């Protein structure tokens, strides 16, 4: 559990620094300059004009109101339909914060605890082992299975310290087993998914390494077991419908909406050599809490504003401010002695909270704010929440190969426009 000092600091950040203590200097209220935002627009227009992306949407909202909202290019070069606010995007891992919020609602209600073992809800997890590569005297490497030193907990699922990785070839024997299982391309129910993943070994002991993977998908199944509903049913009941996130789901069910789906350029449709971006026109059985959602910029803006508000939106409370603060605090700091797998880790200036990367230091050459929390999706979308400046940003695009480069450039330009 995060220390009291860190929790208080996070709560101060969430307050936005608007009210200063008596006798202290008033904080600087930063705004985005028109000249700086013009450079942001020029950058995105150039990405479209040079054929790197078909189109994109950028929304920046400060003090509860849009201060920049622009659509660029087209949804799909095949249809040449203009990008618009109702365009539907594959969110991929921007699904993770939504699933994490659902779990924290259950924590607030006392129906779930961060310290609960996952096996309390999915008994098959009690028998999981850790896969360790060992070399025999003849030089051959074999996979030995070792017992867990402690159970996987709900907190491990939220902060990616469960030992459940994503699979890929060339990453060691355990990750190759996950790649062979082809979980990403399967269309199982969440119950079937959890049962299948429980038969695979962990890549590390729980609580020892931040290692990005299927943790949030398992968390989605825990939510289903506790609530007795499918993940989407619970999300719609408690978050999506009340917030007005009417376009957010796990696939696009209405054929009339198919022309609104954003697509990458034809040569940029693969996440890796064997996995193409999912066809969200096809019904999906797997309600992947870790990467399966689709939605619009307007829907995600409501979600982001609720977080920035400390858990409320339009008079309705979804989470307590202290719960948001806990989620937006670093849970893998040096005091935890948790190592960091670098394949997906969000950089040396960041820690990780309960569903988000968290800015813990200012990177050299930048003035990015401490306390910012954020995440992105392999399809190209990203968002960030900046409590210090009472600001959030959402960038919607579909480009698996260009996403990292574009995200870095845009974040730099946005904060330059703010005079940081």
For range 124-149, the mean pLDDT: 93
For range 175-201, the mean pLDDT: 93
For range 376-382, the mean pLDDT: 97
- Residue with tokens 């950028």, as numbered in its chain: 58
Of residues 4 and 245, more confidently modeled: 245
Q: What's the pTM value of the predicted model, to 2 decimals?
A: 0.92
- Model confidence at 21: pLDDT above 90: no
Q: What is the spatial distance between Cα 122 and Cα 205, in angstroms, rounded to a whole number? A: 18
Task: Render pLDDT for 140-154 as a digit per residue (tens, 0 to 9).
Answer: 899 999 999 999 999
Task: Render pLDDT for 49-89 as a digit per residue (tens, 0 to 9).
Answer: 999 999 999 999 999 999 999 999 999 999 999 999 999 99
Confidence of residue 8 (pLDDT cuts 50, 70, 90): very low
Domains and CATH numbers, the chain: 4-16+32-104+229-417 (3.40.710.10), 113-225 (no CATH)
- Model confidence at 296: pLDDT above 50: yes
Task: Render pLDDT for 80-110 as a digit per residue (tens, 0 to 9).
Answer: 999 999 999 999 999 999 999 999 999 999 9
Where on the phi/psi map is residue 163: left (φ > 0), alpha (ψ -120 to 50), or beta?
A: left
- Model confidence at 261: pLDDT above 50: yes
Q: Which of 4-8, 135-139, 150-154, 314-318 has the lowest mean pLDDT?
A: 4-8
Where on the phi/psi map is residue 244: left (φ > 0), alpha (ψ -120 to 50), or beta?
A: left
């Amino acid at each position: 559990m995060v220390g009291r000092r860190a929790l208080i600091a996070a709560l101060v950040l969430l307050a936005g620094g608007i009210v200063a203590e008596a006798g202290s200097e008033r904080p600087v209220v930063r705004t985005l300059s028109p000249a700086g935002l013009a450079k942001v627009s020029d950058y995105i227009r150039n990405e479209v004009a040079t054929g790197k992306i078909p189109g994109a949407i950028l929304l920046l909202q400060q003090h509860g109101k849009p201060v920049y909202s622009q659509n660029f290019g087209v949804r799909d070069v095949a249809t040449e339909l203009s990008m618009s606010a109702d365009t539907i995007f594959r969110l991929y891992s921007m699904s993770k914060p939504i699933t994490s919020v659902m779990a924290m609602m259950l924590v607030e209600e006392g129906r779930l605890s961060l310290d609960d073992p996952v096996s309390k809800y999915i008994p098959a997890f009690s028998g999981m082992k850790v896969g360790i590569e060992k070399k025999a005297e003849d030089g051959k490497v074999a996979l030995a299975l070792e017992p867990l030193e402690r159970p996987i907990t709900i907190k491990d699922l939220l902060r990616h310290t469960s030992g459940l990785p994503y699979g890929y070839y060339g990453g060691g024997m355990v990750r190759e087993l996950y790649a062979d299982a082809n979980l990403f391309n399967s269309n199982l129910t969440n119950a079937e998914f959890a049962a299948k993943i429980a038969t695979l070994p962990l890549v590390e002991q729980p609580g020892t390494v931040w290692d990005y993977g299927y943790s949030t998908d398992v968390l989605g199944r825990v939510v289903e077991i506790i609530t007795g509903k499918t993940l989407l049913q619970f999300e719609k009941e408690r978050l999506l419908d009340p917030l007005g996130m009417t376009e957010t789901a796990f696939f696009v069910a209405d054929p009339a909406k198919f022309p609104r789906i954003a697509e990458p350029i034809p040569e940029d449709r693969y996440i890796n050599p064997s996995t193409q971006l999912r066809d969200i026109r096809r019904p999906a059985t797997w309600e992947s809490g870790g990467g399966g959602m689709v939605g619009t910029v307007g829907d995600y803006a409501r979600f982001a504003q609720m977080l920035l508000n400390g858990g409320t939106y339009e008079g309705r409370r979804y989470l307590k401010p202290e719960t948001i603060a806990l989620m937006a605090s670093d849970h893998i700091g040096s005091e935890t002695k948790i190592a960091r797998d670098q394949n997906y880790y969000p950089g040396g200036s960041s820690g990780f909270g309960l569903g988000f990367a968290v800015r813990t230091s200012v990177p050299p050459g930048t003035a990015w704010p401490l306390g910012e929390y954020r995440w992105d999706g392999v399809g190209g979308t990203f968002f960030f929440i900046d409590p210090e400046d009472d600001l959030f940003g959402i960038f919607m695009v579909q480009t698996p190969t260009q996403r990292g480069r574009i995200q870095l450039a845009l974040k730099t330009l946005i904060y330059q426009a703010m005079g940081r």
